Structure 1
Amino acid sequence: MLPFRLWLWLICCLVAAPFAGTAPAWAANRCQAVANAKPFVHLASSRARLASQEVRLTFIGHSTFLIETSGGVRIATDYNDFVRPSVLPDIVTMNRAHTTHYTDSPSPSIAHVLRGWNPAGGPAQHDITLKDVHVRNVATNIRDWGGNAVSYGNSIFIFEVAGLCIGHLGHLHHTLTPEQLASIGQLDVVLVPVDGGYTMDVGGMVDVLRALRARLIIPMHYFNTITLARFTERIKTEFPIEQADKPVIVVSQALLPSEPKVVILPGQ
């Protein structure tokens, strides 16, 4: 018999969702898009050795990605008790919207546990460097189950590595203010929740993507083919879409698309 919490997560993944602080001032200058980019990224074996200016992203599932740097740092996003990479990360990020986005019992062997909310109140503030990666956050708000606003319950985490700026939007519930956009800076890669209800409606998320102007857009938090199709149907007039056959992608400055593009990775 499966534990209740695992059943809860499985139900969340199978059911479509029809309903529905900032970083330091210098952060805006840290993330700059690469001009005159070469055509696109390439997919690679999850165990292939990375070149010095490459980053590997593996979509584990739900909102969890394993980000691996050439310096040997492993990062897991929205780290939780249900969907995890098979390797122990050096850094984990978490958000508090639901238990599929955080854990109360991370391994003590994890060097940096970054919660996207501040248990003491106010916005969470993270600004760390480990080997070749710099991690910071921009706090946003969430809704509770009753639809009430909860200030600073989510963080957008930005990973600066190999000359790239990779943003994970977490469980984003609203469009971004000019101040938040300035603090985020120019993303090269954005990991975006596209469920269309638990986070925000598809139209609102498209507005967020327009504002961020990242050149590589990777959907997450899509539960099933129905919610994913709802997003792709809406976005196809905005950006080209590519369906990858593996959950792993390697990116670098030189291989980013010259214009924004959506790449869908299958979850593991």
Structure 2
Amino acid sequence: MSLVRIARLVVASVGLGLSYSAAAAEPESCPGLIASRDTLFSPVALRQDEVGLTFVGHATFLIETPQGVRIATDYSDGTRPAVTPDVATMNKAHSTHFSYLPDPGIKHVLKGWNPAGGPAYHDVTVQDVRVRNVSTHIRSSAGGTEYNGNSIFVFETAQLCIAHLGHLHHTLSPEHLKKLGRIDVLLVPVDGGYTLETFDMMEVLRAINAPLMIPMHFFGTSTLNRFLASAREHFPVEFGTSASITLSRATLPNSPKVLVLPSH
């Protein structure tokens, strides 16, 4: 049974944004084949055009697809959903974003860095969802740059493209934006210090221009409110009453907005 509590966003629909066809050496950007493919009827409490999203805490969300695939983002030893996901994505900037001992029942554990060096590369299809990544850099412990130490993971399902920025440490280049393609829902680290400074994060949000942006990775109300004060200069801000929401293309906002979810 799905963990999603059916709490719908009652907002107007939005037209299709721009998409980008990547070169053969790069993963096709959103919407790809999975995002445009018809899905089968699912026995869980989701229609074929709906995706469940639950804010578990810190940088971890549980994403549930119409066919019942479960994905945990930035899965760690301290923050993980109550159910075993089919896919777990991880990043390495801090131990709160990865697991030393992931549940052995997870079929796909996707690291946002390449232990052998160079960028990580993932483009995995699991039933009705495609998961791919765009590599970014992080600050090293010595104060320099660790190239390709983070990944923005993109989840394509039910005509939606959901991106998790991970532990983002820098603004995005035109090449990053091309690889991302159209993003409908953006999961955003908003602490303003450990990740990207708030002013620069606003640049990222405006560049991606997703209809729905959901904050994560904040440490109490003070860091969240600092982000929201800046966000209100550019976007409307709303507060959800449940950690779980149901998303679909038909209920995306007409223009970008920030939705704050309580953690699970």
TM-score w.r.t. structure 2 length? 0.85
Q: Which runs of 5+ in 1 are unaligned?
A: 1-21, 32-47
Q: Percent identity?
A: 56
CA-to-partner distance for each residue in 1:195-216, whole Å, 9 max, x for gaps?
Answer: 0000011000000000001000
Q: Name the aligned partner's letter for residue 200 of structure 1.
A: L
Give the equivalent residue in structure 1 for 2:74: 78
Given that 1:23 and 1:136 are in contact with CA atoms closer than 8 Å, whether structure 2 keeps it comes out as: no
User: Mapping of 1:105-254 within 5 angstroms?
Assistant: 105-254=101-250
Cα deviation, residue 245, structure 1:
1.3
In structure 1, C-alpha distance between the alignment counterparts of 2:82 and 2:256, rounded to whole Å: 31
Give the equivalent residue in structure 2 for 1:30: 31
Calculate the aligned-residue CA RMSD, in Å: 1.9
Q: Name the aligned partner's letter for residue 149 of structure 1.
A: T
In structure 2, C-alpha distance between the alignment counterparts of 1:163 and 1:169, rounded to whole Å: 20
In structure 2, C-alpha distance between the alignment counterparts of 1:24 and 1:237, rounded to whole Å: 39
CA-to-partner distance for each residue in 1:237-261, whole Å, 9 max, x for gaps?
Answer: 1000001111111110111001001
Cα deviation, residue 233, structure 1:
0.3
Which deviates more, 255-264 or 142-151?
Answer: 142-151
Q: Name the aligned partner's letter for residue 228 of structure 2.
A: T
In structure 2, C-alpha distance between the alignment counterparts of 1:146 and 1:123, rounded to whole Å: 20
Aligned match for 1:104, one of 95, 100, 106: 100
Question: Is 1:90 aligned with 2:90?
Answer: no
Runs of 4+ in structure 1 over 3 Å off: 22-26
In structure 1, C-alpha distance between the alignment counterparts of 2:24 and 2:212, rounded to whole Å: 23
Quick one: structure 1 residues 29 and 242, their matched pair in 2 at CA, closer, same or farther if it must change by over 3 Å?
closer
Given that 1:50 and 1:70 are in contact with CA atoms closer than 8 Å, whether structure 2 keeps it comes out as: yes
Given that 1:24 and 1:183 are in contact with CA atoms closer than 8 Å, whether structure 2 keeps it comes out as: no
Which deviates more, 48-57 or 181-190?
Answer: 48-57
TM-score w.r.t. structure 1 length? 0.84
Q: Name the aligned partner's letter for residue 30 of structure 1.
A: P
- Is the partner of 2:28 in helix, strand or coil? helix
In structure 1, C-alpha distance between the alignment counterparts of 2:65 and 2:117, rounded to whole Å: 32
Question: Is 1:258 aligned with 2:254?
Answer: yes
- Is the partner of 1:28 in helix, strand or coil? coil
Q: Name the aligned partner's letter for residue 140 of structure 2.
A: D
CA-to-partner distance for each residue in 1:171-213, whole Å, 9 max, x for gaps?
Answer: 0000001111100101000000000000011000000000001
In structure 2, C-alpha distance between the alignment counterparts of 1:145 and 1:245, rounded to whole Å: 38
Cα deviation, residue 144, structure 1:
2.1
Cα deviation, residue 70, structure 1:
1.0
Cα deviation, residue 26, structure 1:
5.3
Quick one: structure 1 residues 88 and 145, their matched pair in 2 at CA, closer, same or farther if it must change by over 3 Å?
same
Given that 2:27 and 2:123 are in contact with CA atoms closer than 8 Å, whether structure 1 keeps it comes out as: no
Q: Which runs of 5+ in 2 are unaligned?
A: 1-22, 33-43
